[in-house]
Structure 1
Amino acid sequence: MKNILQGAALGLILAGFFAGSVQAQENLTVNVDSDKSFSGAYQVGEDRVEFASILGRDALVKVSVNVNGAAREASVYLEAGDIQSGSAKRLSNKEETLIFDAANALAEYLSASREDIENPALMLVGVMDYWSSRTH
Structure 2
Amino acid sequence: MISEHVVIPGSELRERFSRSSGPGGQGVNTADSRVELSYDVERSQALPEPLRLRALAHLANRLTDGVLTIAASEHRAQLANREAARARLAALLRTAIAPPPPTRRPTRISKGAQARRLESKRHRSALKQTRRSGHSD
TM-score over 0.5 for the alignment? no
How does the TM-score come out when normalised to structure 1?
0.31
Q: Relative to total residues, which structure has the larger helix share, 1 or 2?
A: 2
How does the TM-score come out when normalised to structure 2?
0.31
